Amino acid sequence: MTTATAAPAKTTITAEMARWAAGLGFEQLSADAVREAKRFLLDSLGCALGGFQQHDVKIALAVHDEIAGQGPATVIGTGKRLDVVSASLLNALMVRVMDYNDIYWKQDPSHPSDIIPAALACCERKGTGGRELIVGIVIGHEFEQRMCEAAFPGIRERGWHHATLTAFVSPIVAGRMLHLPAQQIQHAVGISASRHCTMGAVTAGKLTMMKNTVDPMATQSGVLAALLAEQGYTGPEHVIDGKEGLAHCYGPEWKLDILTDGLGESWRITQCGMKAFPTEALTHAPISAVLAIVKDNDLKPTDVAEVHIRSLHRAADILADPSKYDPRSKETADHSLPYVVAAAIVDRNVTPVQFTDAKIMDPVIREQLHKVKVVADPEVEKLFPALQRVIVKITTTDGRSFEKQLDYPKGDPRNPLSDREVEEKFDALASGVLSADGRAKVKDAVWNLEKVARVSDLMGLLKA
């Protein structure tokens, strides 16, 4: 007579993710991963210092003056020390608000550096230094990028925003920075992700301030979840692969092995891109092509009769719907392909300066909007996401035509910003907040981050 034995319970995916994150140390990282973590941190701090000056952030700061508590985490720009939940939201909003931080696009777009403020706040609470912060940055990019890759098609194609994915990753980063054991990190994922799903409406049609706020809120969610888990709060362990979890609810297809296969064998952060323009990612290649044509042929706005852009279906759908031909806010303008192309034609550059209220309503720029035609090209679609091909043809009023094809924009890992260009971007964004000496101190601290004894020392350099 034989006795049947029960099959061992299957390990959930969040358990594997949490176990790997809990055990990851600085010594295990490659030199390239460490270097990229520093580059993305400097880029993000520049974006945050630029974001500190934006109207959206001023509103959020005023609200938190009323509701936030004192704590160990520094708020960029103000230098105030608040609770880690409030500081993570405010700092993430500063990083995100100008739509100028990093970009990764495989199946789904995302901005992994939106999660860096969770690492900053939790490192400050724990009293740890730059080596730990680097680990947190690498973990955030690793899992955010893997989450983007795992959905077929990407969840944006299903009507959901990528902040839905950030809510799964930010608690892993926060939990690891708080030195939680793996099981508590797993519960933090369940706490955050089970209640934080973000509709794609925030990036469809006429855009509002929420376009740049939903991901910071998902980062904040992860920090709160980690604090709850630290005290013994529990969340669903099967939130990704179980009944009514992510894969069950948000079909049609998930390749969940992507989330854990080969962890630590290579580093996703080395495959992430940076933005050369403060605009939606799929506008970058068209902007680059238009700028090249206009500058190479010295075209004036009055010379241009039509700009014909062949791109992806999602670019035509999201970036060139009727609302994008009449932008009235920064949020709509930086997601308007007609507007950014018109600004490139008129100003021969696309920087934060092009997104002031006065510039958005500039009659010379608005005269160009109707000249921009965006069509979805099935052949371009077939190449995505390996290539972000765009084909731009400018026809002039005197009958000439100029055409340029680009397969990926400046800032893509295949054409990255140099360290000098990252510094120049940082200086341009931070110059309204920090002195030249102050900016130099921040850059020095970031490039030597593994020698920074306390993350609070770095954050102390970021006060206006």
In this prediction, residue 7 carries a pLDDT of 46
Residue in 391, 417, 200, 412 with CA at minimum distance from that of residue 292: 391
CB burial string 354-386: b at 16+ within 10 A, e below:
bbeeebbebeebbebbebbebeebeebeeebee
In this prediction, residue 1 carries a pLDDT of 44
CA-to-CA distance for 140 and 176, rounded, in angstroms?
10
**Confidence class for position 251, pLDDT limits 50, 70, 90:** confident
Inter-residue contact 12 to 238 (CB < 8 Å): yes
> What is the 3 state secondary structure string of the chain?
CCCCCCCCCCCCHHHHHHHHHHHCCHHHCCHHHHHHHHHHHHHHHHHHHHHCCCHHHHHHHHHHHHHCCEEEEECCECCCEECHHHHHHHHHHHHHCCCCCCEEEECEEECHHHHHHHHHHHHHHHCCCHHHHHHHHHHHHHHHHHHHHHEECCHHHHCECCHHHHHHHHHHHHHHHCCCCHHHHHHHHHHHHCCCCCEHHHHCCCCCHHHHCHHHHHHHHHHHHHHHHHCCCCCCCCCCCCCCCHHHHCCCEECHHHHCCCECCECHHHHCECCCCCCCHHHHHHHHHHHHHHHHCCCCHHHEEEEEEEECHHHHHHHCCHHHHCCCCHHHHCCCHHHHHHHHHHHCCCCHHHHCHHHHCCHHHHHHHCCEEEEECHHHHHHCCCCCCEEEEEEECCCCEEEEEECCCCCCCCCCCCHHHHHHHHHHHHCCCCCHHHHHHHHHHHHCHHHCCCHHHHHHHHEC
Compute CA 316 distance to the chain's CA centroid, rounded to the nearest angstrom: 21
**Confidence class for position 108, pLDDT limits 50, 70, 90:** confident
CA-to-CA distance for 313 and 438, rounded, in angstroms?
44
Q: What is the mean pLDDT of residues 100-123?
A: 95
**pLDDT above 60: residue 256:** yes
Q: What is the mean pLDDT of residues 176-194?
A: 98
**pLDDT above 70: residue 5:** no
Question: Which has more confidence, 155 or 184?
Answer: 184
**Confidence class for position 183, pLDDT limits 50, 70, 90:** very high
In this prediction, residue 205 carries a pLDDT of 85
Inter-residue contact 207 to 329 (CB < 8 Å): yes
Q: Are strands 390-396 and 372-376 parallel, antiparallel or unpaired?
A: unpaired
Q: How many CB atoms neighbour CB 303 within 10 A? A: 16
CA-to-CA distance for 381 and 332, rounded, in angstroms?
24
**pLDDT above 60: residue 6:** no
Is residue 363 reached through a cis peptide bond, with omega within 30 degrees of 0 on the bond before it? Answer: no
Rounded to two decimals, what is the model's pTM? 0.93
Q: What is the mean pLDDT of residues 140-167?
A: 94
Single-letter amino acid, residue 341: V
**Confidence class for position 107, pLDDT limits 50, 70, 90:** confident
In this prediction, residue 44 carries a pLDDT of 98
Residue in 45, 22, 314, 345 with CA at minimum distance from that of residue 155: 314
The encoded tokens of residue 441 equal: 């101190």
- Give me the percent of the chain exceeding a pLDDT of 90: 92
Q: What is the pLDDT of residues 206-243, one digit of tens each?
A: 899 999 999 999 999 999 999 999 999 999 999 999 99
Q: What is the mean pLDDT of residues 309-322?
A: 93
When mean pLDDT is compared over 101-115, 240-254, 434-448, the highest value belongs to: 434-448
Q: What is the pLDDT of residues 27-64, one digit of tens each?
A: 999 999 999 999 999 999 999 999 999 999 999 999 99
Point out which residues pair with 391 in neighbouring strands: 310, 405
The encoded tokens of residue 392 equal: 């731009």
In this prediction, residue 105 carries a pLDDT of 87
In this prediction, residue 9 carries a pLDDT of 57
CA-to-CA distance for 48 and 91, rounded, in angstroms?
7
In this prediction, residue 28 carries a pLDDT of 98
Torsion of CA 174, 180, 183, 184, to 10 degrees: -60
Inter-residue contact 361 to 369 (CB < 8 Å): no
Inter-residue contact 104 to 148 (CB < 8 Å): yes
Q: Which of 59-73, 146-160, 180-194, 427-441 has the lowest mean pLDDT?
A: 146-160
Q: What is the pLDDT of residues 390-441, one digit of tens each?
A: 999 999 999 999 999 999 999 999 999 999 999 999 999 999 999 999 999 9
